Amino acid sequence: MNDLLDEMAVVITGSGRGLGRAYALAAAAEGAAVVVNDLDVDTAEAVVAEITEAGGRAVVSGHDVSDWDAAAELIGLCVESFGRIDGLVNNAGILRVNRPEEQTERDTLDVVNSSLLGTVACSTHALRHMCEAGRGVIVNVTSGQQMGAPVMAVYGAAKAAVATLTYSWSQDLQASGVRVNAISPNAHTRMADVYEEFLGTRATGQNVGIEPESNAPLVIYLLSELSEGVSGQVFRFDGQRLMVCAHPTVIAPDAYLPEGRTARDVAAVVAGELAGLFQPSGIRRISAPMFQ
Ligand SMILES: NC(=O)c1ccc[n+]([C@@H]2O[C@H](COP(=O)([O-])OP(=O)(O)OC[C@H]3O[C@@H](n4cnc5c(N)ncnc54)[C@H](O)[C@@H]3O)[C@@H](O)[C@H]2O)c1
């Protein structure tokens, strides 16, 4: 039996540590040639060494995915090194935790630039090659926080935007041979430590016991032909259980507002036909704040 990613060249962003490292090692073990990218280039070098010592193929990239030109160079490195690009995992991301009234410009830019701008920049450059080749796979990385969560509004918003890119691009690319899906992973990584630090004495062990490696089979499935025909989907893995996430949508019934409508007409419809349809938020649709 052939390895699942034989003949494929893939770029995995932010793969010097944590979840990205696990995806890179698993992709190489399945026969892919891998560009191991990380802003912390020393960590990426260590992962490349691990892959090559095990007999795999990998090259290092220290590009910042949130820099448009650097993202172009990163994708170009894959094509120059391996002659092609078949897969891109937009894994690089940063978490900053703040109460909304304490949000800073710096934290906002860091979070949005790494997850959202990075995903757009790397995907745009990769798609230029993939659309021309008539094949390719993009795996985006979102989070359960995209559904709304205390103290992670901007992070969740950036991840929700990544989910929306997934829905939109899968529609744009329907006839192109390129598939786009997203994952919402879970693992105890450096990122989990950021949240634990914020919680302080209220911390209960964020994702303790969930190894990054446990998420890798989902990424390999999405990169491989095993997922042929699957596009525009967001899969969530919680360490044991695999789930499909619902897309945002409107809820029936639609209520008719008469011509010459006023705010009082709106109030009457909200209290009438739309009564009982208000949506709770959060990953398990629990709207009560977890803490004050
Ligand atoms: N850990 C979880 O439970 C969890 C849950 C949901 C989503 N995610 C997402 O999974 C991804 C990986 O998270 P992790 O937990 O492994 O985090 P991590 O902090 O352990 O690793 C992220 C890596 O991305 C790199 N990086 C950040 N910005 C970059 C940039 N601009 N260019 C290149 N590299 C950059 C970092 O240097 C780091 O090595 C992130 O997108 C995160 O939002 C993680």
Q: Is the peptide bond before 253 cis (omega within 30 degrees of 0)?
A: yes
Test site for ligand 1: of 106, 152, 191, most ligand atoms within 8 A of the Cβ: 191
**229: Cβ–Cβ under 8 A, 6 or more apart, which residues?**
none
Ligand 1 atom closest to the Cα of residue 90 is: 41
**12: Cβ–Cβ under 8 A, 6 or more apart, which residues?**
20, 23, 24, 27, 34, 35, 36, 37, 88, 89, 91
CA distance 84 to 9: 6
Which candidate in 155, 167, 195, 256 is catalytic?
155
Tell how far CA 195 is from the center of its chain.
18
Closest CA to 88 of 226, 242, 235, 219: 219
CA distance 62 to 251: 45
Query: Between 209 and 173, where is the model more confident?
Result: 173
Decide whether any atom of ligand 1 lies within 6 Å of the 38 Cβ.
yes
Share of the chain above pLDDT 90, in %: 82
CA distance 15 to 39: 9
Residue 155 appears among annotated catalytic residues: yes
Decide whether any atom of ligand 1 lies within 6 Å of the 112 Cβ.
no
Fold of 9-244: Rossmann fold (3.40.50)
| Ligand 1 mean position, distance from CA 248 (Å) | 25
User: How do the domains of the chain map onto residue ranges?
Assistant: 9-244, 251-292
Return the pLDDT at 281. Answer: 84
Query: Between 277 and 85, where is the model more confident?
Result: 85
- Tens digits of per-residue pLDDT, 139-153? 999 999 999 989 999
